[in-house]
Amino acid sequence: MTPERYKRYKATLDRRQPDLTVITDRVHKPHNLAAIVRTCDAVGIGEFHYTVPRAGYRSLPGTAMGSQQWVTRRSYDTVQEGVDQLKSAGFKIFAAHFSARAVNFRAVDYTQPCAILLGAEKQGVSAPAAEVADEHIIIPMQGMVASYNVSVAAAIILNEAQRQRENKGLYNQVRLKQADYHRLLFRWCHPLVAEFCDKHQLPYPPLDHEGIIVEQQKWYSQVKASFKI
């Protein structure tokens, strides 16, 4: 852990937007999933929600992604399960879906708690998911193709969400709950120690102002004695 890396971790967490997220409806291509998660991290989204692809496709956890360690992933067997959980937490669901009630994606307010619902390649958002969405949004098209690639659409919509949130000053204040902030900070600084603590249901040891475990040798000794390592 270097002071520069610790400062970067903190600066990233300082800008995280816990009330903005993405949920995918059986998007299955690894490169699309990877690109969406990468965009989530880039705009300050710390949690990504996805419906497990149908049989025959690789699931997200098996996909190699440079951003996976920075973005927490939540999986669901059905999109309804994911949408229900997000709605119960106060999120509005904006489905990227062409319909009679769809509006320009720039016309909605992304500064409120919201989730962008993205549909699978070719099929798009499923009928059940479209039905439960609060609003449908579309990206205006000027050419012959009917839609953008799903990962490109995610980037376009999330860039607008970032613009709105920047204008409202939401990146200028720490918005994560303190417990979540310190939990993530410790996991980023000390992933192996965090994994050990999680496995054995141990509280994370405190960190000093440089991200180093306070009295780490003493803590290691206590752990070794407890588990007779």
Mind listing the pLDDT tens digit for each residue in 23-77?
A: 999 898 888 999 999 999 999 999 999 998 765 555 555 444 556 789 999 999 9
pLDDT (mean) for 147-176: 96
pLDDT at position 64, please? Answer: 42
pLDDT at position 11, please? Answer: 97
**Least reliable range by pLDDT among 89-98, 107-116, 146-155:** 146-155
- In order of 69, 211, 212, the CA distances from 207 in angstroms are 20, 5, 5
Phi, psi for 47 (deg, rounded to 5): -130, 135
| Rounded Cα–Cα distance for residues 218 and 57 (Å) | 47
Phi, psi for 29 (deg, rounded to 5): -75, 125
pLDDT at position 59, please? Answer: 53
pLDDT bin (cut points 50, 70, 90) of residue 88 is very high
Question: Which residues on adjacent β-strands are paired with residue 21?
Answer: 115
Angle at 147 between CA 156 and CA 52, to 5 degrees: 80
Contacts of residue 202, Cβ cutoff 8 Å, sequence gap at least 6 = 196, 223
Percent of the chain with pLDDT over 90: 74
- To which residue do tokens 């098996």 refer? 62
Q: Is the pLDDT of residue 122 over 80?
A: no
pLDDT bin (cut points 50, 70, 90) of residue 190 is very high
Q: Is the pLDDT of residue 19 over 70?
A: yes
Phi, psi for 20 (deg, rounded to 5): -135, 130
CB count within 10 Å of CB 201 equals 6
pLDDT (mean) for 190-206: 93
pTM equals 0.89
